[in-house]
A and B are shown apart, each in its own frame.
Chain A
Amino acid sequence: MSTTLLRTFQPNQFSLLGTSLLRRRRSNNFTVRFCGSQTTTTHEAKQSSPTRVAPKNHKSNKLDEILRDYEAVIGIETHVQLSTLTKAFCSCSNNYGSYPNTSICPVCMGLPGALPVLNSKVVEFGVRLGLALNCDLSLKSKFDRKQYFYPDLPKGYQISQFDIPIASGGYVDLDIPLEFGGGHRRFGITRVHMEEDAGKLLHSDTGDYSQAWNLYLNRAGVPLLEIVSEPDMRSGIEAAEYACEMQRIARYLGVSNGNMQEGSLRCDVNISIRPIGQAEFGTKVEIKNLNAFSAISRAIDYEISRQALLYNQGKADQIVTETRLWEEGAQKTVTMRKKEGLADYRYFPEPDLPEVILTKEYVDSIRASLPELPEAKRRRYEATGLGMQDVLFLANDFSVAEYFDAVIGKGAEVKLTANWIMSDIAAYLKNEKLSINDIKLTPHELAELIATIKDGTISGKIGKEILFELLAKGGTVKGMIKAKDLVQITDPVEIEKMVIQVVSENPKQLEQYRSGKTKLQGYFAGQVMKMSKGKANPGLLNKILLEKLNAKD
């Protein structure tokens, strides 16, 4: 707990990690930086603009020292729960939050005589994800039985893919957030395969059943895609960003909602460390129970420190192959159970399911239907000249990126559009807890707004004022300008008239100004603005005002 406090109360530190930890106490689904719910993005984006480098606090200095001697080797297994309408092998509906044990049938309950039939959408999503991760697809793959006994596994085996997964040998490109150093990375993907989920075991709360669990089988049979990465990551930051990108891609493709809180996206980390220069890997430890991207990062940092300490104390043999759980409260990993040898799952080909056969035409048609993926968007936005901060913000959420593309598609200037979206619009979304799909301001109208400000029809300030109404109620920019008579006054004669009037109405202030209080120019400007109902062009106003104030009389 103390290390959390240390991070959040650093004076003058824009520790994004710190501020997001602070925020998490107030609301539960905010995660590091841009990942997770899109309503977090504004606030964090605004805060992160000043910093470019990871803040050096006590903890990360220690980690840096460790990383001078040891290299962490990290791989991640991600389970993505697919947003299909039905389960993988039966027609029960796949619906998060439905009443317990209602979405069941003999197939997913593993009752005798029931046979699985593969859901075509699962194959489609598998191919989509495989292509998005730049993998080679196995045109012929199969299912296998992974056998073990556990209460949440009705059949006593899980239908999975063992040696011939649907996709393998790919990679993912991503960008490290600027506050952690920035930079491109490429991480390898070993494989992607299809499998089914198990049921859910929950602790029973009645005292009587302290020896029992509640079993909830709506989830049993729900389709999953498991993504196994190459052990290419070398730090908690890289691992967290990899997980973020998996979520981003899943959402872009529409294969999953990727919500870690719902369990639609689960990550298990495999980590080992080795002295720098050593070729062989150290002993691998698995970490489970990671419920947020920041937890991934912190758990890895903790584990690196723990293992390095043992190495330094000469107790490297105390690092054993095991599964550890991350405890969010205590901010450390603890042993779950020692692995007594490798589990013998007795894999063999699932006799009740035929081969999964993909034709070249099928794959090509899916490839053609893929949306522009996050990496391609980031590179395209970068090429327009936007800074990386803006690029990462805009490409993070599929809907935001689409909106942005629509606005610049209407001819609006790129940087101005980015600013509007990232500041005022994002702030509105956060306050109203909406998504960009909910606002009434159409991309066309935003482009219109930007254009009318640019050509001087209305002032920037007025623009911001009507933005709010446009967001909430819609309407057109032109209509609103007309209805509220917002056209900017740019006629110097008009402005001069108002200036003269204001100056003559305020002789005392004029005296003060002429005797040296030049700051009163602001006061006069304010008065003219008030008189003109905010429509006077500020630049012209100040020019004329200055002339009049400094004139001999």
Chain B
Amino acid sequence: MATRALLAVISASPNRCFISPSRIKIQSLTSSSSSHYYQRQSGKIHRIARSYSSDSDSSVLQPPDVSRLAQTARISLTPDEVEECETKIRRVIDWFGQLQQVDVNSVEPAIRAEMDGGHLREDAPETFENRDSIRASIPSFEDAYLKVPKILNKE
């Protein structure tokens, strides 16, 4: 059950071949920046208001709303599992929360965790050789299409 819990892991690996764990969710850190609402910034440099760089509320991080997280990630948890996860996730967040104590008032927010910048690829087509095995591994592949169930609502 614990393995089904959401792990908060920040991947900052510089190595391109490293396979990053797919479930990267730091919900409480990103929940305020996930407001969906692009504010028009004046001037050329965009100052990003991120909860972890604001010092108004530096030591108090929102507790995770695990049931909502599970819902948005389409993972079903029993009430016991919710409680269990809540404690575990909270602990990880608090551990990272130590970063809140750093004074970043005079530091320009970084856009992202730094990797060697600028790995770009040339615009030259290459066919993937093993497309057949991709198609073969799809259970509902039929007559050139993948069959998927109808979904009426994006939510």
Contacts and interface: CB of A to CB of B under 8 A. Distances in A.
> Which 7 pairs, one residue from A and one from B, show the smallest C-beta to C-beta distance?
A105-B128, A214-B145, A93-B125, A120-B120, A121-B123, A91-B126, A151-B148
Contacts, number: 169
B19 interface: yes
A346 B144 contact: no
Contacts of A93: 125, 127
Nearest to A149: B74
Interface in B137-151: 141, 144-151
Contacts of B11: 351
B151 A151 contact: yes
Contacts of B121: 86, 91, 117-120
B132 to A, nearest CB: 10
Interface in A158-199: 162-164, 168-169, 190-191
A104 B128 contact: yes
Contacts of B136: none
A346 B34 contact: yes
Contacts of B41: 168
How big is the B interface, by class? Answer: 35 or more
Interface in B58-110: 72, 74
B36 A343 contact: yes
B33 A347 contact: yes
B131 interface: yes
Nearest to A137: B44
B120 A211 contact: no
Contacts of A168: 40-41
B111 A349 contact: yes
How big is the A interface, by class? Answer: 35 or more
B145 A216 contact: yes
12 contacts: A99-B144, A106-B128, A115-B17, A119-B121, A120-B120, A142-B112, A150-B151, A150-B154, A204-B145, A337-B153, A344-B36, A345-B36
Contacts of B12: 351
Contacts of A94: 125
A87 to B, nearest CB: 9
Interface of B: 10-13, 16-17, 19-20, 22, 24-27, 30-31, 33-38, 40-42, 44, 46, 48, 72, 74, 111-128, 131, 134-135, 141, 144-151, 153-155
A213 B147 CA distance: 6
Q: Is the interface of B mostly helix, strand, loop or mixed?
A: loop
A102 B146 CA distance: 12
A346 B27 contact: yes
A348 B26 contact: yes
Nearest to A87: B125
B125 A148 contact: no
A530 interface: no
Given A168-B41, A169-B42, 15 more contacts: A91-B124, A100-B145, A104-B135, A115-B17, A117-B119, A117-B121, A138-B46, A141-B111, A164-B48, A212-B148, A213-B149, A214-B148, A348-B24, A349-B112, A354-B118
Contacts of B113: 349, 351
Interface in A181-236: 190-191, 201-202, 204, 209, 211-217, 228
Contact of A101 (B34, B145, B154): B145
B119 A112 contact: no
Interface string A281-321: 00000000000000000000000000000000000000000
Contact of B46 (A101, A120, A163, A201): A163
Given A119-B123, A211-B149, A354-B119, A104 B72 contact: no
A45 to B, nearest CB: 37
A455 interface: no
Interface in A84-118: 84-86, 91-94, 99-102, 104-106, 109, 111-113, 115, 117-118
Contacts of A102: 131
Interface in A340-368: 340, 342-349, 351-352, 354-357
Contacts of A112: 19, 22
A161 to B, nearest CB: 10
A100 B135 CA distance: 11
Given A93-B127, A190-B40, A209-B147, A120 B115 contact: no
A106 B72 CA distance: 25
Given A105-B128, A148-B154, A164-B111, A348 B148 contact: no
A109 B134 CA distance: 9
Contacts of B119: 117-118, 354
A92 B128 contact: yes
Nearest to B35: A342
Given A121-B123, A217-B146, A347 B34 contact: yes
B144 A191 contact: no
A321 to B, nearest CB: 12
Interface string A134-151: 001010111000011111
Nearest to A355: B117
Nearest to A105: B128
B116 A204 contact: no
Contacts of B37: 342
Nearest to B123: A121
A200 to B, nearest CB: 10
B124 A86 contact: yes
Contacts of B112: 142, 349, 355
A264 B27 CA distance: 35
A219 to B, nearest CB: 13
A26 B46 CA distance: 50
B36 to A, nearest CB: 5
B145 A86 contact: no
A123 interface: yes
Contacts of B46: 138, 163-164
A32 to B, nearest CB: 30
B147 A204 contact: yes
